[in-house]
Each structure stands twice: as structure tokens, then as C-alpha cells.
Chain A
């Protein structure tokens, strides 16, 4: 990770008196988590590749408040929400894309009532639309024929009924897409949601991410595909706990598409 990618900010656009087609909401994980930063970069490469006119908020972005809200701190959530909405409304944002299903859900469902009404897309939905418009080429490349299973993020799947966009993209990669026994609306959580990412689990007999990783390993995959930075971390840890990290990779859908084309 030592390559610089060109990332325009909203402030720069504003200074030039222009407006981008879409705001890329990077999110906290995408900004600060070393693993998630790779996903962010892969997605940015795809945006450039498809000539998408986008910008980020950069240092003006702040946590959406999702973990605070799910932990029960409605105050902190609304403080975050109102601050972010002020920034976004000042830039007259209409359309937002994010690679984090938690940011996606919060921006899409919980901001409108507080005055933040935007068209919000998950990056897999956005990439699918670029594909459909012929702006992005998705082809097999080095992943052709690989066995890949997709882990549904709760906040993309059950929470918002998005099941097909990531799968459509994976199929375009000409991979062998295999489903876990629990998938789509029956998909098992990775264990990170509801602010669990930031705390130790309650006493039990197993970690949820290990249980879910076992589901994935049953499909004998070469790659576990994810669409959420937190799921990615949980599944990566699960694969490590099963000592399979040499043979099985956990990758975001955006990374798969970018890597397939050696972007």
C-alpha cells in the first residue's frame, strides 16, 4: 500500500464551482482500518476506470453514528447525523455511494427524517449500475473459474433486501459462485453488527464469526467474498482461527473486480 490515488474532495469541487455526479462516503473503517483502506482504494480505482465524476468529504466526513445508535446512544447518533447532514446539504449532495452497508443503511434510512434526503447506494449496487450502463467492464481475468462464496452483510441483505447486485457482479467475473447453506435472507451474521465490533462478546461457547466461517468453509471456496469492511474483518479472523489463511482469501467484491483487471 504505497501508491497514491487521486481523490478529489467536495471542497475542491466547490472551489472550482463544480458538483460531482456522486459523493463517495468512505466511512470510518474505509478511512482508518488497514484492511478496509485497500477496499476503498480498489473502489476508487474502479470509479476512475469508469470515468465517474466523484468526490469525497475527506476531513469533513464524520462517523454516521450507526454504532452509537445501535448501542442505544440516540443523542450521539443524532449529533453526528445533524452535523453530517449540515455538511452534505451545504454541498447540495444528491447522490451518495458507500462501500459500508452500515453507513449505507444509516444514510439511506435514518437520515431522511433528520433532514438528510439523498439517493444512497451500496457500492455493489453502484458498480452494477455502471456495468449496466456500459461504463464499467467486469470480466473474469485471474478469478475465472475460482470457487467463490458470498457472505451477505446483514445491513445490506435482510436490512435492505439487496441480495442480487453483489452476486450479479461476481457472476460477471465468470467465477463458480457457490452459496452457503444459510444465505440471502437466512444468512448468518458475522458477529460485528449492533456495535459488537467494538466490544468483547458476552460469555458463550463460540464466537459468531467462527460459526459463520464454518458455513463458508463447507462450500470449499477459494475466496470468500464480502461486501462490508466489518464482515471482511470478522471472516478474515475466522479463516485465521481455522488456519486456512494460506488457501482461502477474504475479499471485497470491489477488490475482486479491480484485481481481476489488474487495476
Chain B
């Protein structure tokens, strides 16, 4: 009978991690629905980017208030995980504070965790105030209504509760240590919970044990629930920020990718010896010609889909976007959210039907409208400001490509511009033969 808690704990742990793993696999499978793009080059530079941007939070601190608060929560998150390791070992083997043998180092560790937990709590409260009391504009854009707003707050509540449980657990442990309760060895330093502990003065040993155990269990179960919540929320960035910054575009921001399918067609068109009626070579399958641009998530490449899962809806891109600032519908954050939501929908469709069954929907029109796409000035402000190397611009361009090359659906002004380029080599209706007239005007 004495092993029931251990067994229960192992079951909870396996279930929590198992369900999470299952969902992570779905994320990976969904990302792989994207087209191939080679990002296996320049490993050194890529590692450096990951270290600087994700690990070092270099772009977060460009906005100092949010940046520093974020670093506090981020450091807390990473370092407090060492404590989770102890909790897991204790849970599996029925021990209590297994690392206590570390002595002074243990005191230092527990003391640091407490201070970090307290700072995380304060940071998260300030984040909540920024969202709900100060109402920073970027958290109240149209795309943030409903679930995205609740999702953001829910994550903050989660963290507040987890930090509180951790500190209350330590506070009751401290009381039990003072009472000399069985099992509760004297260990650790408690710079924060020593101020919570007096609240429990006079409680019986049994009540304290119930409190301590309750906090311990709810805390670890809470962590597992939070882990599994990631998949359903915008919060996956805590994991995906690392691969996303690693696989980010290393080319100058002004460089748009080259569509090789088009290059082949253009070469054929420009080659005077090419026979337009020639039978396709043996290695070329005659089938559906390649689709130009993107109208749905599977037309995007896997890095763009990874971008979508990584976005945590901070909205820095949208707040820097010149189109958005001047009241246009375009919001780069919404481009990323729509891409992710559609990708999830496609993934769920595959889960349900075994393979994708046409649902009569696509990313274009059902999620992202041409009006949004045509408002972009391709200024790269969104790309420059993203703290985790996401490029909303690359998705916008791919969708414009579909609109123009597959649907001939450019705004009429742009059609005029393109007709001019085709006919006379300039976006305006001037004759190419007049190109040097300026020199003697």
C-alpha cells in the first residue's frame, strides 16, 4: 500500500509526457506538410543566431520593459526546471528533497528558485496588467478577440498559480521542518517562503502535511497540464523559438526567393532552339503542372509553417507595420495566426480521415483576404522586429504569387504597371527608346 503514491505519480507522469509527445508528433507531421526548402547550410552561423536570438533574447530587449520582464520569466522558467527534476525523482522513489545532501549548494539552489519564483510571479502580474489594465494597443487588435486574448491570460494565470503553489509548498515544508516532522529533513534556504510560513502558525502537523502534499501534487500535475496546454495555445514558442531561429533566413532581408519552376519555364521560353511541342523527357512525369505561389498551407514551405507554430502573438510585427498603423486590414501577426489555425485544421482533417479530404476551404479567402495581402509595402519592418526570426512577408509574397500567376487577380493598377513593364520595360507607359532623353532635356 505504501507504494500507491509512487505508482500514481508514475502513471500521471507517463500520461502527461505521453500525451504531450503524441501532440508534438502531430506538430512535426503538420510542419512537414510544407514544401521542402534547404536550410542545412551555414551551421555555424545558424547556431550563433540561435544562441544570440533565442537563448540570449537579443531581440526581446529592443523593447526594454517587455524584454527585461520576459528575461526574468524565461530565466525563471529554465532554472526552476532543475527543481522539477528533484520533484520527479522524489515522486518516483517516494523520497523527499533527494538533493538535500548537496548541503550549502542545495540551500543556494532552493534560495535562488524561491527568488526567481517570486520574480516570475511579479513579472507575470506586470504582464497581466499590461494586457488587461494598461491595455497596450497591440494586445487589443481585432485578431486578438476571443480565444487569443483568453489564451494569453490563461497562460499568465497558469504561471501565477504554479509559482504560488511552489512557494506555499516550501512555506508549509518550513513549518514541518521546524516541528521536526518525520520525513521532513532540515534542508534548503527559504528567502521568500519564510514570509509566507507564519500564515500557517498553529496548524497541526497533519494539516501541514496535507497542505504540503496538496501543493506538491497540484504543482507537478499543474506543470504537466501546462506542458500539454502548449499544443493547444500560442505558447509553443518556448520550445520552437530555438529551431525557428536556427532555421531562419540568412539572406539579406531584401532578397526574395527565386521560383525555380518559373526559371525553367522562362529558360524554355527564351531558348530559340526549344521545341514547344516536344514530348517530355523520360524522367519528367507529365502530370499536374507545378502550382505557382500559395493558396493553402501545403503550398508554403516547412520553415514558413514552423514560423506559424512558433508565433506567440506578441504583436510587435503588427505594431511596426506601416499598413496596420495607418488603419489598413493587414496585420502580420494575423497572417501567422491564420496560417497556424489553418494548418491545425488541415492536421485535424488528416487525423480524422487518415489523409487530407477536401474541406472546401483554403488559407486564401477563408482566412487571409486579398485586401490584407495587397496592403503590404514589403518594408520588412515585421521581419526586422520579430524576436524569434519569423517572416510574415514571405507568406504574403507567396500568396500574392498565387493571386497573380494562378488567378490573374492583381488590383487593376498593378495590372497596368505589369503591362507597361511587359510592353515597354518600365512600370509607366514610356517608350524604352526614350530612356536616355533625360540627358538632354
On A, residues with C-beta under 8 Å from B are 1-2, 4-7, 9, 26, 28, 30-33, 37, 40-41, 44, 56, 58-59, 61-63, 65, 67-76, 78-80, 82, 105, 108-110, 113-114, 154-155, 158-161, 185-186, 188-189, 191-208, 211-212
* Stretch with Cβ within 8 A of A (4 or more), from B77-85, B235-243, B247-255: B247-255
Does A160 lie within 8 Å of B254, measured CB to CB? yes
- Beyond A76-B422, A109-B252, 8 extra complex contacts between A and B, CB < 8 Å: A9-B436, A28-B428, A58-B435, A73-B404, A189-B379, A202-B328, A203-B328, A207-B326
Name the distance in Å between B296's Cβ and chain A's nearest Cβ: 16
Q: B196 CB to closest chain A CB, in angstroms?
A: 44
Q: A58-B436, A72-B403, A160-B252 are in contact. Are A196 and B377 (CB under 8 A)?
A: yes
Could you give, for residues 259-296 of chain B, a 1 whenever the CB lies within 8 Å of some chain A CB and a 0 otherwise? 10011011101100000000000000000000011000
Report Cα–Cα, A114/B436, bound state, in Å: 26
Interface range on chain B: under 10, 10 to 19, 20 to 34, or 35 or more? Answer: 35 or more
**Which residue of chain A lies nearest to B269 when distances are taken between CB atoms in the complex?**
A79
Of chain A, the residue at the smallest CB distance from B261 is A74
In the complex, which residues of chain A have a beta carbon less than 8 angstroms from the beta carbon of B434?
A: 31-32, 59
Q: Mark B409-441, 1 if CB is under 8 A from A, else 0.
A: 011011011100110011110101111111111
Name B residues whose Cβ lies closer than 8 Å to a Cβ of A: 251-256, 258-259, 262-263, 265-267, 269-270, 292-293, 320, 322-323, 325-330, 371, 374-381, 383-385, 397, 399-405, 410-411, 413-414, 416-418, 421-422, 425-428, 430, 432-441
- Chain B residue at minimal CB-CB distance from A161: B252
Complexed CA–CA distance, A208 and B327 (Å): 10
Neighbouring A residues of B253 by C-beta, 8 Å: 158-160
Majority SS of interface residues in chain B? Answer: helix
List residues of chain B with CB within 8 A of the CB of A76.
418, 421-422
Docked-complex contact A159 and B405, CB < 8 angstroms:
no
The answer to whether residues A59 and B435 also contact, given A71-B400, A185-B384, A208-B377 and a CB cut-off of 8 A, is yes
Q: Are B327 and A188 in contact (CB under 8 A)?
A: no
* Least CB distance, B168 to chain A, in whole angstroms: 44
CB <8 Å contact, B266 and A72 = no
Contact of B322 among A9, A28, A208 (CB under 8 A): A208
* Contact yes or no, B375 A201, CB < 8 A: yes
CA separation between A198 and B180, bound complex, in Å? Answer: 80
Closest to B255 in A: A109
B256–A206 contact, CB under 8 A?
no
Q: How far is the CB of B282 from chain A (nearest CB, A)?
A: 27
Q: Which residue of A lies closest to B258 (CB)?
A: A113
What residues of chain B lie closer than 8 Å to A189, measured between beta carbons? 322, 377, 379, 381
Q: Are B417 and A199 in contact (CB under 8 A)?
A: yes
A194 touches B428 (CB 8 A): no
CB-based contact B266/A31 at 8 Å: no
Contact present for B293 and A188 (CB under 8 Å): no
Name which residue of chain B comes closest to A61, CB basis. B435
Q: Which of chain A's residues has its CB closest to B432's CB?
A: A59
Cα A198 to Cα B439 in complex, Å, equals 25
